[in-house]
Amino acid sequence: MDEKAAATYAPLQPFSRLIGSWDLRHRDLNTKAEWGGNDTFEWLPGGRFLAFHHHEDGNDSTGGIDGVMIIGNEMGWEEGGWIAAHNGREALGRALTGMVRDGAITKKRAVELARMVLRENARALYGF
């Protein structure tokens, strides 16, 4: 899509600077393991919706992560962020529950992992 078409919907204009792909480096704050990934932003046809694709390569503890968020005039970033956070928490709960059921980790370790993902990693990253 050309930039003129993308810029026709004023509330999404600030996102124009994100269009493209961005390489990412991730680091586990406990193990210091590192892995790559990328984010890609693109206008969907018509210029009233933006697709945000997120990818993380697999590392020693994950098989990789892929996700997409659609941002547009029907739903603002606030609602999209809430949905993403809600779905992320639900997915984490399901994954950890499955690992406990399979005997891969203990219930205590599942609680530790959930706390790291949902709280401690952000605290360490932002210095809280």
Local structure of residue 8 (DSSP, 8 states): T
The tens-digit pLDDT sequence of the chain (128 residues) is 444 445 456 777 888 888 999 998 888 888 888 888 899 998 887 777 888 899 888 765 666 788 888 877 666 677 777 778 888 888 899 999 999 999 999 999 999 999 998 888 888 878 87
Local structure of residue 116 (DSSP, 8 states): I
Q: What is the rounded distance in angstroms from the CA atom of residue 104 to the CA atom of residue 62? A: 13
Residue 71 φ/ψ, nearest 5 degrees: -115, 130
Is residue 107 left, alpha or beta, with left meaning phi > 0 and alpha meaning psi from -120 to 50? alpha
With a threshold of 0.75, does the pTM exceed it? no
Torsion of CA 110, 36, 125, 93, to 10 degrees: -20
